[in-house]
């Protein structure tokens, strides 16, 4: 097993937990004055995103175990994630242009786009967070989610994860390890969001 991608996700998760350590429930639930998710909602979104990505990897593993080509092709619906400036109704119509563009971009560029907040994005309907969850539960579940992802790879270490392919109109073609890297990049994006919220709250407290 490569392990490097898992360790990067582990380091990213450790920074998320460090950022949110010691926050009171009120701080977890407080939404920014300008609108948007609270810190607790961001953590719940991260949980949902990792679970969804782990499910896709598990589906690839199941295909490989069944002796079938480990290749998944996903479409694009109005409920999927997308650039914030694209109307939801247009998403299915833009699947082919998006897919062509994603296939032309190298992985490093796609990873940078996921990590950077310069391109505003809209979360998928299924990734919308549940509000006002207990911060202690969220932090515990984040640690458990990482362990579940690690265990999935460890239990299937005899398989070649680089030969698995997940094709998505927005994310391009990625193998199982690259899905893990994109999971970490997505979390790093939201870490910046958490820092912004904490900074704004501390500034308000000083004033």
Question: pLDDT tens digit string along 92-102?
Answer: 999 999 999 99
pLDDT of residue 171: 94
Q: How many CB atoms lie within 10 A of CB 156?
A: 18
Report whether 47 contacts 138 (CB < 8 A).
yes
Looking at residue 34, its pLDDT comes to 85
Q: Which two structure tokens, joined as six digits, stand for 177?
A: 């390890």
Mean pLDDT of the 109-116 span: 96
Task: Answer yes or no: are the C-beta atoms of 92 and 76 closer than 8 Å.
Answer: yes
Count up the domains in the chain and report the number: 1
Smallest Cα–Cα separation from 168: which of 86, 105, 84?
105
Q: Which domain holds residue 129?
A: 4-206
CB atoms within 10 A of CB 19: 16
194 Cβ contact list (under 8 Å, min separation 6): 16, 19, 20, 39, 42
Query: Of 97, 75, 74, which is closest to residue 86 (Cα–Cα)?
Result: 97
What CATH code is carried by the domain that includes residue 180? 1.20.120.450
Residue range 162-199, pLDDT digits in tens: 999 999 999 999 999 999 999 999 999 999 999 999 99
Strand partners, 72: 166
Quote the pTM value.
Answer: 0.94
**What value, to the nearest 5°, has the Cα angle with vertex 68 and ends 63 and 72?**
55
Best CA proximity match to 6, nearest among 189, 136, 177: 177
Paired sense of beta strands 165-168 and 71-73, if any: parallel
| Residue with the larger pLDDT of the pair 29 and 202 | 29
R_g of the chain computed on alpha carbons: 18
Give the SS3 label for residue 193. helix
| Mean pLDDT along residues 132-136 | 98
CB 77 within 8 A of CB 90: no
Residues 202 and 207: their CA atoms lie apart, in Å, by 9
């Amino acid at each position: 097993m490569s392990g490097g991608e898992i360790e990067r996700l582990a380091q990213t998760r450790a920074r998320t937990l460090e950022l949110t350590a010691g926050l009171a429930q009120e701080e977890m639930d407080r939404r920014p004055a300008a609108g948007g998710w609270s810190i607790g909602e961001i953590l719940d979104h991260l949980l949902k995103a990792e679970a969804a990505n782990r499910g896709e990897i598990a589906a690839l593993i199941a295909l490989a175990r069944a002796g079938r080509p480990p290749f998944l092709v996903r479409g694009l619906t109005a409920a999927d994630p997308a650039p914030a400036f694209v109307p939801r109704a247009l998403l299915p119509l833009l699947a082919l242009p998006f897919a062509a563009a994603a296939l032309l971009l190298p992985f490093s560029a796609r990873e940078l786009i996921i990590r950077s907040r310069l391109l505003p994005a809209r979360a998928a309907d299924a990734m919308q967070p549940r509000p006002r969850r207990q911060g202690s539960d969220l932090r515990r579940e984040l640690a458990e989610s990482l362990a579940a992802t690690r265990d999935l790879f460890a239990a299937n270490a005899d398989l070649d994860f680089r030969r698995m392919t997940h094709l998505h109109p927005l994310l391009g073609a990625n193998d199982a390890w690259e899905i893990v890297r994109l999971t970490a990049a997505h979390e790093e994006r939201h870490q910046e969001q958490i820092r912004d919220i904490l900074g704004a709250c501390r500034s308000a407290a000083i004033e």
